[in-house]
Amino acid sequence: MALKEPQSAMVTFEELRTIDPTYLATYYQLGKVYEILGSEAEAKKVYEKGIYIAASQSDMHTKSELELALNELL
């Protein structure tokens, strides 16, 4: 993302999500990438999945951040 290459970032974050689907930071970053790419429906799905995983891990801080990102999207 720092290199301003959202398409490349999207591919990398999707790979990370495949490798470790429980790593929560991926969901926030990937959602933001999809927003930048104009794929709001995909961003919504990513945030919702991240919220579900955060809740299952009892990580209320990350859950809250993902909910905020989702609410800002809507």
Evaluate if residue 2 carries a pLDDT over 70: no
Report domain extents, the chain: 21-73
pTM of the model: 0.92
Domain 21-73 belongs in CATH node 1.25.40.10: yes
Q: Which helix (H) or strand (E) holds 44?
A: helix 40-56
Is the Cα dihedral 46, 17, 62, 53 positive or negative?
positive
- The 10s digit of each residue's pLDDT in 22-69 is 999 999 999 999 999 999 999 999 999 999 999 999 999 999 999 999
Amino acid of residue 61 = H
Alpha-carbon radius of gyration of the chain = 11
Residue 58 half-sphere exposure toward CB, CA atoms < 13 A: 0
